[in-house]
Amino acid sequence: MKILVCISHVPDTTSKINFSDDNTKFDTNGVQFVINPNDEFGLTRAMWFKEKQGAHVTVVNVGGAETEPTMRKALAIGADAAIRVNTTPTDGFSVAKQLAHVIKDGGYDLVIAGRESIDYNGGMVPGMIAGLTNANFINNCIGLEVDGTSAKAVREIDGGKETVSTSLPLVIGGQKGLVAESDLRIPNMRGIMMARKKPLTVVEPIDTDAKTTSVSFEKPALKGAVTLVSPDNLDELISLLHNEAKVI
């Protein structure tokens, strides 16, 4: 089985986010980038298929040379090869078009993408990939088993879970729950050394048009001041809730 894992290069959630050019561009200065968390769950599940079923795992990213450390981390975790599409990602449709082109050329049986990236939170790329490649699609996937050309998946729905059966080729939008958080892997020294010898292929992008454009960004409002009340002074707490917060 050939598996392709789509990897987004996203800011660490602990990074301080700023914008430049009159709030029209994301400022990358001083920002630490990591593998998109939803993609990391998918990569870990792909490693399970590699170890249990002998699958060959390739990771792919749409981005510039600055994303290669993230790709090397994925290789150190255990992926066999990496592909970088040499273009700056602009919107979900153009990214999906680039990835679909890679998929069609590679003949992959299973494509694992994160449900969404934690930077733009578009949540559209996995479904678009499936549509562009004429593959089956399961979103919000929190469980996946593959037996030959058949697959059984568990996906999260409002108020519960749903188990579905389908066939390969398949695209999934994975998320937390696809593997346990305790199963996520930290590259060890051997993996880091081996990653240097694994192929990281750079391919040029195909022509595609962006369908959406980010006009501007705005930070959330700053949190208001906090008033601390002694646990022994319930009268003051009640007064503040009634007269200032006006919640009682």
Q: pLDDT tens, 153-196? A: 999 999 999 999 999 999 999 999 999 999 999 999 999 999 99
Smallest Cα–Cα separation from 196: which of 76, 78, 50? Answer: 76
| Amino acid at site 205 | P
Q: pLDDT tens, 64-115? A: 999 999 999 999 999 999 999 999 998 999 999 999 999 998 999 999 999 9
The answer for residues whose C-beta is within 8 angstroms of residue 39's C-beta and 6 or more apart is 5, 6, 7, 8, 113, 114, 117, 174
Query: Per-residue pLDDT averaged across 13-19, rounded?
Result: 87
Return left, alpha or beta for 22; rule: phi > 0 is left, psi -120 to 50 is alpha, else beta: left
d(CA 171, CA 133): 9
CA geometry: angle 13, 41, 126, nearest 5 deg: 90
Domains and CATH numbers, the chain: 2-217 (3.40.50.620)
Q: pLDDT tens, 118-163? A: 888 889 999 999 999 999 999 999 999 999 999 999 999 999 999 9
Residues across the chain: 248
- Judge whether 212 and 120 are in contact, CB under 8 Å: no
Question: Using a CB cutoff of 8 Å and minimum separation of 24, what contacts does 230-233 make?
Answer: none
Q: pLDDT tens, 233-242? A: 888 888 988 8
Q: Are strands 56-62 and 136-147 parallel, antiparallel or unpaired?
A: unpaired
